[in-house]
Amino acid sequence: MKIASLFLSLLVLAAPLRAQPLPGDSVYHLQASTQAADGQPVAWSSLRGQPRVVSMFYTNCHLMCPLIIENAKSLQKQLTSAERKRLGVVMVSLDPARDTPSAMQDVAQRHRVPDGWRFLTPAADDVRAIASVLDVRYRFRDDGSINHTSVLVLLDADGRVRARSEVTGAAADPQFLTQVKALLAGP
């Protein structure tokens, strides 16, 4: 009975939190559709509610994108178990024509990413808009590769950009790690 009362109290208290309007600088104001690696549709705005590290990449990349993934993995490894549970990691495709659910699953398996990572492929018309709100610049090259900003973006639960790291490599950026930990330590 006590558990049921506690559960009902939490539901009542949580409802107003979800109903709060987004802050003006939230990236989740963008109305964009994506597809998860399991093929299910995911509204961009549905990512609200959890701090996240977000980056953009493409599956056919063989240099920088694998480093971005390894960098995010390294960052996550330096968090406590409780911090890892609070932080979501989202990899967003720059190349929806080639980044099918199967290609996204292959990358996740090849890099042995931890459970809970989300690999999202936006609709072709939404790639530029998502890149814009994350301040990721990119351009397609004649050889099929994509020049793009190699960045990890830290978003708070409401989708406000709290930090960015353009440090690439297998080791996490210590300054960015400090900012992630500070955000996760907050309310």
161-165 and 152-155 beta bridge pairing? antiparallel
pLDDT grade, residue 4 (50/70/90)? very low
What number is the average pLDDT over the span 128-150?
94
pLDDT tens for each residue of 51-69:
999 999 999 998 899 999 9
Instruction: For CA atoms 25, 31, 37, 40, give the dihedral sign.
Output: positive
DSSP label at 25?
A: T
Q: What is the pLDDT of residue 167?
A: 83
Instruction: Record the pTM.
Output: 0.87
- Domain spans of the chain? 24-173
Mean pLDDT score across all residues of the chain: 90
pLDDT tens for each residue of 156-175:
999 999 999 998 877 889 99
> Which residues neighbour 44 within 8 Å (Cβ) at sequence distance 6 or greater?
27, 28, 30, 31, 32, 33, 34, 122, 126, 130
What number is the average pLDDT over the span 92-104?
96
Place of tokens 């208290």: 13
CATH number for the domain formed by residue range(s) 24-173: 3.40.30.10
Q: What is the pLDDT of residue 19?
A: 63
Query: Is residue 115 helix, strand or coil?
Result: coil
**Residues at the annotated binding site?**
61, 65, 148
pLDDT grade, residue 5 (50/70/90)? very low
Q: What is the pLDDT of residue 70?
A: 94
**Residues at the annotated binding site for Cu cation?**
61, 65, 148
Q: Give dist(CA 158, CA 24) in Å, integer.
A: 10
Alpha carbon 32 to its chain centroid, in Å, reads 14
Tell whether the model's pLDDT for residue 1 goes beyond 70.
Answer: no
pLDDT grade, residue 137 (50/70/90)? very high
Record the tokens describing residue 3, joined without a space: 């558990």
- For 26-56, the DSSP string reads -GGGS--EEEETTS-EEEGGGGTTS-EEEEE
pLDDT tens for each residue of 7-47:
444 444 444 455 689 898 899 999 999 999 999 999 999 99
Tell whether the model's pLDDT for residue 184 goes beyond 60.
Answer: yes
What number is the average pLDDT over the span 82-105?
96
